[in-house]
Amino acid sequence: MPEPKSTFDATYPCDFYEPAELFEPDQMYTIPEIARLLQELEPDAEIDPDTEAVLIDWAIPWVMTHAEDLVIAEPLEDDGPGYYGVAPHAVEGEAGEGAAEEGSEDADSHDGA
């Protein structure tokens, strides 16, 4: 049931990290690791399963919302998780721009162009 805002002592902006702020540019992360990072925890932090489930519920829509700034990799094992990382174009600075350009050239060469 909805509650009036006046019921709460305080409200806060609903700000989330951008992928370039959250991820190391040379690392790939699983959804549970992303969930931890969004809570300012280390990717390998021990948390109880119920808390992890709630954090994952927040992480999945975050990944979907930021999909244009992410890259994905196949699981390392057949039954393993997928991995996500920040896309080169989403990283600020010259390193990110150069990586994005290299990625487009690689993509063109795979298309037979």
Strands, E, within the chain: which ranges?
70-73, 83-86
How far lies 52's CA from each of 19, 60, 61, 72, in Å?
A: 20, 12, 15, 21
User: Is the Cβ–Cβ distance between 25 and 31 less than 8 Å?
Assistant: no
Residue 82 or residue 99, greater confidence: 82
User: How far, in Å, CA of 68 to CA of 66, rounded?
Assistant: 6
CA 29 to chain centroid, in Å, comes to 7
How far lies 17's CA from each of 40, 85, 104, 106, in Å?
A: 10, 14, 26, 29
Task: Give pLDDT, residue 13.
Answer: 85
> Tens digits of per-residue pLDDT, 47-97?
999 999 999 999 999 999 999 999 999 999 999 999 999 999 999 754 444
